[in-house]
Amino acid sequence: MRVRHIIVNDLMQSDYFYRLTEPMGENFHSDFKPELTPKEMLELGVFGGKYITDCMSEFPTEWFVKAKLCPERHDPSLNFFGVNASQLLSEWRIKGWIYHEDPRGWFQWYCRYYMGRRCCDDERQIKRWKAMRRHVAQIKKNCLNGDLNCRQKQRQALLHWAYDSRKF
């Protein structure tokens, strides 16, 4: 594979660049098995449609063809479960969850990872992704199989982390 360089200039980063060293959607870490692609997540409705509306040019255009987006504001009605399951970015910063190369957080990291970037933050982000499995267990324990009305906020949060919470 030929290494590609991506240059980012958006509201949160200027003159940042990274290398794509892996084929898109391939060669993931053996512990990282997301159930949804970034494209699927955007089509389902995540982050109130606002998350990456000012940096779409960084990512493949096909990711946005059916994406549920709202450039003006965070709109929870665009989320698959119609509820707000997001914390403010300022909270993520306070908790130390933001890596400086991905100032928008986990989903930005995942989009870039999916595209083929590998970086020194991969291990930490994969660990955080794996920790979300506890929410899968809670839904399976407390909800009837297929009851999408049960624990909707938790289910939406799992969608934000590439777990397909519609399946359990």
pLDDT digits (tens, 9 = 90+) for 55-113: 999 999 999 999 999 988 999 999 999 999 988 878 888 988 889 999 999 999 999 99
pLDDT of residue 2: 84
Q: Taking 80 as the threshold, does the pLDDT of residue 1 lie above it? A: no
- Residue 161 CA: distances (Å) to CA of 8, 16, 129: 23, 24, 7
pLDDT in tens, 112-127: 999 999 999 999 999 9
Q: What is the pLDDT of residues 5-42, one digit of tens each?
A: 999 999 899 999 999 999 999 999 999 999 999 999 99
